[in-house]
Amino acid sequence: MDAGTRIEQALQGAVTRADVAGCPPGLAAAMRHAVFPRGARVRPRLCLAVAAACGDDEPALSDAAAISIELLHCASLVHDDLPCFDNADTRRGRPSVHRSFGEPLAVLAGDALIVLAFQTLARVVHQPQRLALLVTTVSRSVGVPFGIVAGQAWECENQVDTVHYHRSKTGALFAAAATAGAAAAGANGEPWRVVGETIGEAYQVADDIRDAAGDAEEIGKPTGRDAALGRPNLVAELGLVAVCRLDQLIADAIAAIPACSGAADLKLLILNEAKRLLPPKLAQHAA
């Protein structure tokens, strides 16, 4: 089964847990809206790719790790879109969760998705040692001091440390995706952290470029929001130097891949993914 299918099936299985009598139907619908239809699923695909490179001897655990990270990503999008943050009306080309279901259910759907990430991990019961590592890795990437929630909280400070902001808000979950993929397959996750962090940084640079130069229709959310909201944005700081930076980051990520049975395949996969990071027009322009 290909990675994309594994991810969608596992996400369906997780979200379906809310579809039972006694669970408020509005909450279940809001959670489903937040997770489907699929986004790029960049993080869980990275997680499964690293697991595959490390042998993937416990696919159920790899799947759980991969989607736990995607569920946390979806939760962060739901909360980031709230009126008190980005006040975004749309996400992935559709109304955001709070626009569709109201603010209370958006807050709760985000909360429930965070918890669902850990419920999903804990369901894989036959590898308790690996599970403990995964709960540590995944929770660290979301919480304090350096997870995505901490990254988002930098937007509430008067003085923003741009490096910590990006490393926490985007890098942490990518680092966790790579580390957790290795850990799910019984490998040492730590050498993979830098691979995930570097890919995360590449993704952030690409996102900033798309936000500044992209086309709203192409990426399915309003663009120019960073500028409108006065948020830190690498393009604003560095101009189109960012496009070269992106290429360098991809090269760095590939160079950082630890020795493993699937290194060559993983390298190809990352190069193919990198091609999709820029809007077509800009990619042509840069080439």
Least CB distance to its own copies at residue 286 (A): 33
- Distance between CA atoms of residues 106 and 77, nearest Å: 10
4 binds its own copies per the rule CB under 8 A: no
- Contacts with its own copies: how many residues (CB under 8 A)? 59
Which is closer to its own copies, CB of 187 or CB of 277? 187
Instruction: Report DSSP state, residue 169.
Output: I
Only segment of 77-85, 200-208, 241-249, 259-267 that touches its own copies (CB under 8 A): 77-85
Scan residues 126-145 and list those touching its own copies (CB under 8 A).
128-129, 131-132, 135-136, 139-140, 142-145
User: How many whole angstroms separate alpha carbon 53 and alpha carbon 147?
Assistant: 25
Minimum distance between the CB of residue 181 and its own copies, rounded to whole angstroms?
Answer: 18
Select from 4, 12, 24, 57 the one that contacts its own copies (CB under 8 A): 24
- 3-state SS class at 94: strand
Spatial distance between the Cα atoms of 89 and 95, rounded to a whole number of angstroms: 6
Contact assessment for residue 147 and residue 75, using Cβ atoms and an 8 Å cutoff: no
What's the min distance (Å) between Cβ of 28 and its own copies? 7
Contact present, 31 and 50 (Cβ < 8 Å): no
Q: How far is the CB of 65 from its own copies (least distance, A)?
A: 14
Q: Site mask, its own copies, residues 158-177, x = CB under 8 A?
A: ---x--x---x---------
Q: Closer to its own copies at the Cβ: 140 or 267?
A: 140
Residues 165 and 158: their CA atoms lie apart, in Å, by 13
**144: left (phi > 0), else alpha (psi -120 to 50), else beta?**
beta
CA distance 62 to 134: 10
Select the residue interacting with its own copies from 13, 17, 100, 251 (CB under 8 A).
17
Phi, psi torsion values for 90, nearest 5 degrees: -130, 160
Degrees, nearest 5: CA angle 62-248-51:
10
List residues binding its own copies (CB under 8 A).
Answer: 17-18, 20, 22-28, 31, 75, 79, 82, 84-85, 102-105, 107-108, 110-112, 114-116, 118-119, 121-123, 125, 128-129, 131-132, 135-136, 139-140, 142-147, 149-150, 152-157, 161, 164, 168
